[in-house]
Structure 1
Amino acid sequence: MAVSQQVLHLMKVKSLKNLKDLEISFEGSSVTAILGPNGNGKSTILHALACSFSPNEIGENYKFSWFFLPSTDALWNDSELSIIHSFRDAQVEHQSVPREYKKTQVRWTPRYANRPKRDVFYIGIDKCVPMIESEKKQAKINYSTKEVNEDIINIILEKASVVLNRNYSGYNVHTASGKEFIGVVVDGLRYSALSMSAGEQKVFYILEKIFRANKYSLILIDELDLLLHDQAMKKLVNVILERCNEKNFKLFSRLIEKVFWSLRIG
């Protein structure tokens, strides 16, 4: 039986990048926002959390060396942090278990296979880049189209319609040169991600992640509010909060410096 009912209580950082002697509690809400001036370590917290777990079922497998890449000026030696978490393994409940992570002269410990199990999904700023800006092909792009009609997609279309104040009625998967990307139908107009705005593309990406993730997943979003109109942002947060409470997710987001009412919600 897979590990389940994962709960993250606390994170302590002794030393990691510019974070020193930080203790942050995650009790009290399924959604936590991290705010602060540039360069204060908001993204560092998300990166460290992403690397603290091994995939449980369908999660993504992040490694410290991806976010803390050694270089001439930064080897990250003597980095040290810990988490306190609870989980259920078959019939056995494990409460408030500490787990430490360190960077030695050689490698990060513990070994990645020995990290606790939890499905993690990290949504970075790279997901905000419109597909047309990352596409280098100069000639016409011919793609095949497959309409997707499943219950979870219909829910995503419904939520996207609320967030973006548009009437989405169809969802497609396009394939070109071995690459897959999405497309939508709005008021009878069909278009692909190549024609989507950055905010629209981001909303669909986030909704796909939170509605396809398993229960007790950990979802990390860097700059949730980037590229979104304030009204769309507020509606998206409400959708996220509802889904997190329904599926026992834990979601963290780093926010850029703008007024964002009361998230941490709860």
Structure 2
Amino acid sequence: MNSIEQLISYLNDSGEETRAGAVRRLGELKDSRAIDFLLKAYKDETYTMQIAEAPPGVKASVILALSQIGGERARSEILKILKGTIEIGPREETKIMCYDNLFGDILDYAVRFLSNWKDDEVYKLFYYMATSETSSLAEYDDPRIYAYMYFIRREMDLKGISTIKGRVDYLVDQYPDTYSGMIRPGISSVETIIKKGIGCNLTEMGMDAAPFLKARIDKMPQSPKKICLNGELNSIRFMAEQRYTPTWVRPW
């Protein structure tokens, strides 16, 4: 078993795989003494796009390691890294800066970890993330979807909406009325992020939500919104039949 001191020495190795492996091992040890060295490794590393199915690189591994170590210090540092990519202004002017340099695993690990924290700072940051435009093509599992899921759940908590029916009604009311179709570069992706975040929250509630969602859908006139919500209802039923646990389930 490698000691912390030995693993820290590997952070200066010339091989990226060795550095990334050392970072991941430091995370597994969950020793807060490694945090400063991990942060230095993050700052020193030049981000490179990872090949699909390849182990996460150094920067992504640092975020993962910090989340494994956990605690207030890790939260604070991950929040700083995430904030450093966002230029906050009026909603229509807010945008994620250098999103392509904080893509995939890096942003995903950060959002997943921070979603465990119920506080106003994370709440506001996730709202800005989820409603910001980027130059990147949004994917089905875009981490901004998780950010919006957190935001909308926190909204329901703050409003005291705790029953399944109350949550279904709130989510249906928040669901966008229009349909933008597939995302293309240069076309707004905010609506799609909102739809997917709400849809994930609905699906996660499972069959308990199905009768309340169906009752709302039955009362709606034919519209793109009704068609989309019918799709969410079918997803709930399908996942219940398959006994499938969504990968986006959050620990709170």
TM-score normalised by length of structure 1: 0.25
Question: Quick check: which one's strand share is greater?
Answer: 1
Question: Quick check: which one's helix share is greater?
Answer: 2
TM-score normalised by length of structure 2: 0.26
